[in-house]
Structure 1
Amino acid sequence: MKPSRLWRSAPLIAAGAALALAVTACGGDSGGSDDAGASASAGAGAGANAGQSVAIVGYSVPKPAYDELQDAFVKTDAGKGVKFSETFGASGTVSKSVASGQKADFVTFSLDPDMTRLVPKFVAEDWNADSTKGQISNSVVVIAVRKGNPLHITGWDDLIKPGVKIVTPDPASSGSAKWNILAAYTHTLAEGGTDAQAQEYLTSFFKNVVSKPASGAEATTTFTQGTGDVLLSYENEAIGARQKGVDLDYVIPKETFLIENPAAVTVSASPAAKAFLAYAKSDEGQAIFASHGFRPTDKNATIGTVEGANDPSKPFPTIEKLTTITDLGGWSKVNKEFFDADNGIVTKIENATG
């Protein structure tokens, strides 16, 4: 089958200290082990970076993609003889862990604030100075439903109907949760509604939330184990679940939110880590991300069939109304306005709805 080209639509709307690191070795949604990616240390022969190690620390959702990236990288001249370790968990949690001193050479998070927390002590100030502005993968917020879509969910308005049970991660720990909530909020604006109406929608939305797991991957596990009627998720997470044989369907709303995931090397990173980042952003690396359901950062990237997508030959349809974090004024503004621990819009609504 001929590969297809991803054309991401341009944004169409504008709208105005204890740490518990929940990471286990090779269990749940995360992995943390010196042996992780062991197959990625078996490249034949010695390369330019042979004998070096790369400690990956990142959010849980893209772990399968990074496992494949490691296996592919060690087959290149730059990757032969390189060893990997990895720790994956909720984005905010693992970011705070690195800030507290956890060893990391390569870091990847669900959203930019988890990266900027590490600047400049652990990550250089120019981490986002490249052509992708530091982003390594994209996705969009989708609505995952039970196989056959028994509740006939078609979009956001269906989620606030009486009796619909929603699973979405906890914004206190999960970057995925913040993307989901912003998508739910801004769909009202995309339809011509006001901020007051968007807050009213979000209040009804949270009244139907029955579970808020710590991370996006944990939320998927919770849903697939039988909790809830719908799961708010990354498009790639829904595709990945289907690739593993999970019986679920997903709906791409006509109004949704662009998810942008950053990656960088730390200031103490080895040359091998820098080479791995370059590989992950290369055409070959982006093809691996695409195969796991991520939308490449380059709109002209050539991709092949993506199993698990609604249409494997055309896996990433153009979104009718796609909002970006830039449309809302950037993460500094959004975090203060929506997620401030005392006065954020979302914080107040969560407290009011229980």
Structure 2
Amino acid sequence: MVSVLVAALTGCGGGSTDVPGGIDISSGSQHLNLVAYATPKIGFDVVLPAFRQIPQGSDIGFSQSYGASGDQSRKVARGLPADVVNFSVEPDVTRLVKADVVDKDWQTQFPNNSVPFGSVVALVVRQGNPKNIRTWDDLLKPGVEVITPNPGSSGSAKWNLLAPYAAKSNGGADPQAGLDYITKLVRDHVKVLPKSGREATSAFHQGQGDVLISYENEAIMLSRKNATAAPADRIDYLLPETTFKIENPVAIVNTSSNKPAARTFVDYLFSPAGQELWAKAGFRPVDPAVVSATANLFPGHIAKLWTIADLGGWKLVDKELFGSDGAITKIYNEEVGG
């Protein structure tokens, strides 16, 4: 039986979001509200101060809000002040299009379908990999406890589940095989339901679970802490040979009172300087030149990288797998009570 994670976790990091690294980012004659999913905070903590160092950004201050992607999207749809949104999955932006908060053509307003960075699905294990986890099948070994967020609130949970679903269904060619795997995983191995990818990382770091399904960038973040972490807190991570490409979109809210400043900021996310900062923070850049220059930051061999396009796109996937009547939603309702 799965228990819902209710303890307060250190998901978004300590300190004020207005002073990442002790640097004030709130002051300026112009102001933007950034609403994002939880995991890229470590990237924005570097990107925002750097943006304010260039002439175009020097007088733009920021307020920030981070949380589970689906929850953040719903809050903006209900009126949470926002100028720029960055969510884990496309459907969380689509919700804002339906609410007339984001323009229908948002994906054409910036390069790469308005996806400035992304990741791949990785497996995080305890140092030394004591459970000998190598493949998706290894997650179904008796006694292996898996940490992954609740897809009802978390975009990262959807990516996490799509990776083994695509691997086992051969890119959707045999959907029942993919769903059979997800059923076994959720029923027998998922014991807690964090709300967001960052909360899932915190739960794993606090000692819960044997394997964390996560973004590669979260795995990189944890691995960088190994040198100063207690032995019991040190981790290893691996990329399954068959895994999934993660694409995290950004959009400007059409109710913004300062769209020019918002566009200037989003343009910076796609600039070479911004792309390099995302790469150094552990997120995969999208600019081809930066991808090539930073390839050494992302070790590991991937034999097959499935994409959301391979499964028919988010409109189809979200309806068939994650919507109110979706197949994976039904699995969660039946196995863990939603």
TM-score, structure 1 normalization: 0.83
SS at match of 1:35: coil
1:66 is aligned to 44
1:33: Cα distance to partner? 6.0
The one of 211, 236, 239 aligned to 1:249? 236
1:122 is aligned to 101
2:120 is aligned to 140
More helix by share: 2
Over 3 Å counting, the alpha-carbon distance change for 1:232 and 1:240 in structure 2 is: same
Asked if structure 2 preserves the Cα contact closer than 8 Å seen for 1:291 and 1:304, the reply is no
The one of 36, 48, 52 aligned to 2:30? 52
The one of 241, 244, 252 aligned to 1:265? 252
Asked if structure 1 preserves the Cα contact closer than 8 Å seen for 2:19 and 2:25, the reply is no
1:28: Cα distance to partner? 3.4
Asked if structure 1 preserves the Cα contact closer than 8 Å seen for 2:150 and 2:196, the reply is yes
1:86 is aligned to 64
The one of 161, 178, 200 aligned to 1:198? 178
TM-score, structure 2 normalization: 0.87
CA distance in 1, matches of 2:84, 2:299: 27
Listed one character per residue, the Cα deviations across residues 17-59 of structure 1 (whole Å, up to 9, x for unaligned) are xxxxx9x9x963268967355724389xxxxxx5101111000
1:353: Cα distance to partner? 2.5
1:41 is aligned to 25
Over 3 Å counting, the alpha-carbon distance change for 1:171 and 1:265 in structure 2 is: same
Asked if structure 2 preserves the Cα contact closer than 8 Å seen for 1:122 and 1:266, the reply is yes
CA distance in 1, matches of 2:214, 2:158: 11
CA distance in 1, matches of 2:93, 2:173: 32
SS at match of 2:55: coil
1:330 is aligned to 313
Structure 2 letter corresponding to 1:113: P
Identity %: 44
CA distance in 2, matches of 1:118, 1:177: 20
1:266: Cα distance to partner? 1.4
SS at match of 2:243: strand
Structure 2 letter corresponding to 1:338: L
Which residues of structure 1 form unaligned runs of 5+?
1-21, 44-49, 307-312
CA distance in 2, matches of 1:87, 1:230: 28
CA distance in 2, matches of 1:337, 1:39: 45
Q: Which aligned pairs between 1:1-354 and structure 2 lie closer than 5 A?
A: 28-29=11-12, 35-37=18-20, 39-41=23-25, 51-119=29-97, 121-129=100-108, 130-190=110-170, 194-206=174-186, 207-245=188-226, 247-267=234-254, 268-270=256-258, 271-302=260-291, 313-317=296-300, 319-341=302-324, 343-354=325-336
SS at match of 1:278: helix
Matched residues, number: 318
Asked if structure 1 preserves the Cα contact closer than 8 Å seen for 2:282 and 2:297, the reply is no
Asked if structure 2 preserves the Cα contact closer than 8 Å seen for 1:290 and 1:303, the reply is no
CA distance in 2, matches of 1:203, 1:259: 22
2:3 is aligned to none
**RMSD of the TM alignment (CA)?**
2.5
Which residues of structure 2 form unaligned runs of 5+?
1-5
CA distance in 2, matches of 1:184, 1:220: 19
1:187: Cα distance to partner? 0.9
1:155: Cα distance to partner? 1.0
CA distance in 2, matches of 1:331, 1:192: 13
